[in-house]
């Protein structure tokens, strides 16, 4: 097939969206049927289930729930058991009065005693428990939002790695065809030079063009391995294992369009949602310190089973049980102004969060405007590059005919070939730049889907 026919076929593949698979260069010695083939959605789904950072944030949700349970567990009855053993070398001294009313010292008590004890206490109210109960849902919500943030970062970074890899693989396809065509041109120029039809410069120029194409192809092939490694890292895929990537070009082209007229909604950004949750927790902290003047109230019940004897061998022969119930009330009257200072400190921390919101909105707006501008310019650039490919193909076909007719020198053919190759590479770059800028725009607007 002629070079214009090959180029036409490749452009039709890209625009018409024929589904095909692109195989990993470093997996050539493996049987293809033993290597999984994954598209972007499958890579994302794998990453959401296996990427360590996402798994860590998922565990963080469970940790938050456990922390809440621990904090609230003191609102349940607390049961403790213990025992004390006493042995007196000398019994304590007590006093009684004789017939004349004078005090007389006497020894009191038992030499040996053991007091097993069970105590049940119940916290009825305390500021700490009130804070734990009111902030529990916010703590879990914060952990869930951190998990969503990890997933959003994964989808964005993984999509970028996937598109970069596909771009390189597509360039390899273009460069392979170009290298084969340049090699054919070099052979033709050589035979024409040997036959005396052209001078030596045509052959040398053809060789220079071929060597440059080989160098570009080698560089692209070498880039595949680290780009696969980047994609594996984003997915949490085992480095020692391999997989192929595949994609539906038609689907990619259909999904390339995004509405750039949509209004920016700050609340769609996970960073803003996290900040709102932090402000809620800060409000709970202020209330906690503000209400620390409230009393702490608890109830308790104690049961003692006391053993006493002067003779160790008969210590457990007789028990003297007793029990009692009571309540404890603690009212903080003066804490050295610590409560007031804590309230002021918490309010200042709240002010920091308010300033953080102002700064975050500014950052989000800057990211949104930048991403929108990049997306629009890349869409325009892709359309221009598509036209350049069509024109470069026409120019190459015309120049090739003119060269065969002896109208133009061989240098014109080389220039036309270089322009066509550059146009093809530029078009591929522009196509994937649009895909990458779409990801950035979705990230900026907070519309990246995280459920796959």
Segment 419-445 mean pLDDT: 92
Report whether pLDDT(102) > 90: no
Report whether pLDDT(17) > 60: no
Segments making up each domain of the chain, as ranges: 3-76+126-294+338-445, 78-124+296-330
Which pLDDT score is estimated for 100?
83
Which residue, 152, 199, 15, is CA-closest to 442?
Answer: 152
Contact (CB, 8 A) for 39 and 246: yes
Spell 133-150 as b/e; 16+ CB within 10 A means b. eebbebbbbbbbbbbbbb
Residue linked to tokens 């998990």: 147
Does the 3-76+126-294+338-445 domain belong in CATH 1.20.1600.10? yes
Which pLDDT score is estimated for 33?
52
d(CA 217, CA 50): 34
More confident residue, 188 or 1: 188
Report whether pLDDT(269) > 90: yes
How far, in Å, are 94, 168, 222, 293 from residue 22 at the CA level? Answer: 98, 11, 16, 69
Q: Which strands sit side by side in the sheet containing 78-87, from one edge to the other? A: 78-87, 112-125, 296-309, 319-330
What architecture is domain 78-124+296-330?
A: Single Sheet (2.20)
Residues 309-358 pLDDT 10s: 888 888 898 899 999 999 999 999 988 898 899 999 999 999 999 999 99
Which residue, 334, 178, 250, 280, is CA-closest to 14?
Answer: 250
* 451's tokens: 């459920």
For the entire predicted model, the pTM comes to 0.81
Report whether pLDDT(220) > 50: yes
Which pLDDT score is estimated for 107?
85
Contact (CB, 8 A) for 183 and 207: no
Which pLDDT score is estimated for 130?
92
d(CA 245, CA 161): 12
Tell me the percentage of the chain whose pLDDT exceeds 70.
92
d(CA 225, CA 433): 21
Which residue, 39, 37, 158, is CA-closest to 450?
Answer: 158
d(CA 155, CA 235): 9
* 315's tokens: 């210590």
d(CA 46, CA 50): 6
More confident residue, 352 or 189: 352
Which pLDDT score is estimated for 406?
81
The pLDDT-based confidence of 9 (bands split at 50, 70, 90) is very low
Report whether pLDDT(444) > 50: yes
Report whether pLDDT(14) > 70: no
Residues 371-383 pLDDT 10s: 999 999 999 999 9
Report whether pLDDT(270) > 60: yes
Contact (CB, 8 A) for 297 and 313: no
Pairing of strands 296-309, 112-125: antiparallel
Segment 154-183 mean pLDDT: 92
Average pLDDT over the chain reads 88
CB atoms within 10 A of CB 87: 11
Which pLDDT score is estimated for 451?
62
Report whether pLDDT(4) > 70: no
Report whether pLDDT(422) > 80: yes
Element (H, E) at 122: strand 112-125
Return the minimum-mean-pLDDT range out of 166-175, 243-252, 308-317: 243-252
């Amino acid at each position: 097939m002629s070079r214009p026919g090959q180029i036409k076929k490749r452009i039709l593949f890209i625009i018409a969206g024929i589904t095909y698979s692109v195989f990993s260069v470093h997996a050539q010695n493996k049987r293809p049927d033993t290597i999984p083939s994954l598209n972007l959605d499958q890579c994302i789904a794998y990453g959401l289930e296996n990427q360590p950072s996402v798994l860590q944030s998922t565990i963080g949700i469970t940790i938050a729930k456990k922390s809440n349970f621990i904090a609230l567990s003191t609102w349940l009855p607390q049961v403790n058991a213990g025992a004390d053993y006493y042995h007196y070398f000398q019994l304590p001294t007590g006093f009684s009065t004789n017939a004349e009313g004078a005090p007389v010292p006497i020894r009191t008590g038992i030499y040996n005693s053991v007091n097993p004890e069970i105590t049940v206490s119940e916290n009825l109210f305390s500021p700490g428990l009130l804070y734990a109960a009111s902030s529990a849902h916010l703590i879990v919500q914060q952990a869930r939002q951190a998990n969503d943030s990890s997933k959003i970062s994964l989808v964005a970074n993984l999509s970028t790695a996937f598109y970069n890899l596909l771009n390189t693989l597509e360039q390899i396809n273009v460069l392979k065809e170009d290298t084969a065509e340049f090699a054919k041109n070099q052979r033709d120029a050589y035979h024409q030079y040997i036959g005396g039809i052209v001078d030596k410069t045509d052959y040398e120029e053809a060789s220079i063009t071929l060597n440059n194409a080989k160098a570009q192809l080698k560089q692209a092939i070498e880039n595949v391995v680290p780009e696969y490694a980047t994609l594996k890292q984003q997915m949490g895929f085992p480095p020692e294992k391999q997989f192929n990537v595949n994609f539906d070009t038609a689907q990619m082209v259909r999904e390339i369009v995004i509405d750039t007229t949509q209004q920016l909604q700050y609340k769609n950004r996970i960073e803003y949602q996290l900040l709102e949750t932090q402000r809620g927790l800060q409000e709970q902290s202020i209330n906690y310190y503000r209400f620390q003047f409230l009393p702490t109230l608890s109830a308790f019940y104690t049961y003692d089973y006391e053993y006493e004897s002067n003779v160790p061998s008969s210590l457990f022969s007789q028990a003297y049980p007793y029990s009692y119930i009571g309540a404890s009330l603690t009212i903080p009257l003066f804490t050295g102004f610590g409560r007031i200072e804590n309230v002021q400190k918490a309010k200042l921390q709240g002010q920091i969060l308010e300033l953080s919101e102002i700064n975050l909105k500014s950052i989000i707006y800057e990211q949104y405007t930048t991403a929108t501008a990049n997306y629009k310019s890349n869409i325009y650039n892709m359309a221009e590059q598509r036209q350049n490919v069509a024109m470069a193909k026409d120019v190459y076909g015309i120049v090739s005919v003119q060269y065969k007719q002896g109208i133009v020198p061989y240098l014109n053919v080389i220039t036309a070939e270089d322009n066509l190759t550059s146009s093809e590479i530029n078009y591929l770059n522009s196509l994937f730049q649009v895909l990458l800028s779409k990801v950035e725009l979705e990230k900026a607007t907070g519309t990246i889907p995280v459920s796959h």
